[in-house]
Amino acid sequence: MTLKLKRRESAAVEAATQYYVNGDLKAWPPGKTIYYLNVDLEATPEETALIEQHGWGAMPLCKGVLPGGAGRVDFGLSDIIGTMRIGFDSFENRAYVESQLTENIDKVKRHLGDFASGDMSAARRKLADLYKRVVQDELGFAATVDKDGDIFFEHPDLGELFISLNADRDPEYMKLMLPAFFDASRGVSRGDLVEICNRINCTAKLTSLTVRDDAEGSVVASVGLLLAAPDTAPSEALLRGVIKRAMSSLEGAVKKFGAAIEG
């Protein structure tokens, strides 16, 4: 899978372009700059087959309200494969979309590579099937399983989440993860993000918010649970009993984070 991005600026309104601008595009002021991003994503026949086979076309690559308030983006994998031209009214909005696309395409490439490299063990398959069934039944979200036995699903407000599992070493442990849902590039310093996360963590019962040590200062939400004795998979009844509570805790912590950012 190969992603090519090309930035350019022009005052001309062009056809076959998806625009994210404030105001009426038909009345775009003469000479005002439009910040274009040309996207070209090529997938091999093998990658295309895997995507179609497992229904991964809906994987979110860029989702959320643009920082400049020019609308909401919601691009899935199937939207981006091929060529696409996007226009923005600010270079900040273009940079936001470009950053998300670059990061998430790298995740998709790793996901495809891991899945194609071999079959998972019987223990991983059994545990993954259990979690997939519970996520779909109790949370109501369609779920997929990657080669490592981790569970991926889409939340309508939060975006893509996953449950990290290791059936071969720690079948009793699960970690529910919302990766990189905010970062310091959106006008909040890394120090302020750390302070906000620490304040929320002091009162949260299950969820932890962490600021990653990366260039973007990405914020991650996670819930880690021990659900059985060592080297023992959890019972289905117990997992069904706690999964909604884990999801509710994560949603609550992210909501508090959003309120703190806006306040």
Q: Are residue 50 and residue 135 in the same domain, yes or no?
A: no
Q: Are residue 39 and residue 92 in the same domain, yes or no?
A: yes
Q: Are residue 162 and residue 248 in the same domain, yes or no?
A: yes
Indicate whether this model's pTM tops 0.85: no
pLDDT of residue 196: 95
pLDDT of residue 123: 84
Q: Are residue 127 and residue 77 in the same domain, yes or no?
A: no
Judge whether 181 and 220 are in contact, CB under 8 Å: yes
pLDDT of residue 154: 93
Q: Are residue 208 and residue 151 in the same domain, yes or no?
A: yes
* Torsion angles phi and psi, residue 192, rounded to 5: -65, -40
Q: Are residue 106 and residue 157 in the same domain, yes or no?
A: no
Domain boundary among 116, 147, 163: 116
Domain boundary among 48, 81, 116: 116
* Torsion angles phi and psi, residue 28, rounded to 5: -60, 125
Spatial separation of the C-alpha atoms in residues 105 and 229, rounded to whole Å: 37
The SS3 of residue 101 is: helix
Domain count, the chain: 2
The pair of structure tokens assigned to 171 is 């079948």
Domain boundary among 93, 116, 139: 116
pLDDT of residue 30: 85
Q: Are residue 126 and residue 232 in the same domain, yes or no?
A: yes
pLDDT of residue 120: 63
pLDDT of residue 117: 56
Q: Are residue 256 and residue 142 in the same domain, yes or no?
A: yes
Q: Are residue 214 and residue 137 in the same domain, yes or no?
A: yes
Q: Are residue 82 and residue 184 in the same domain, yes or no?
A: no
Low pLDDT (below 70) residues in the chain: 111, 113-120
The pair of structure tokens assigned to 196 is 């906000």
Q: Which helix (H) or strand (E) holds 38?
A: strand 34-42
Q: List pLDDT tens digits, range 153-180.
A: 999 999 999 999 998 889 999 999 999 8
CATH of the domain at 236: 3.30.1460.10
Spatial separation of the C-alpha atoms in residues 115 and 63, rounded to whole Å: 24
Q: Are residue 135 and residue 79 in the same domain, yes or no?
A: no
Judge residue 72's burial from the number of C-beta atoms within 10 Å of its C-beta, 0-12 exposed, 13-18 middle, 19 or more buried: exposed
Structural domain containing residue 19: 2-116
Q: Are residue 50 and residue 8 in the same domain, yes or no?
A: yes
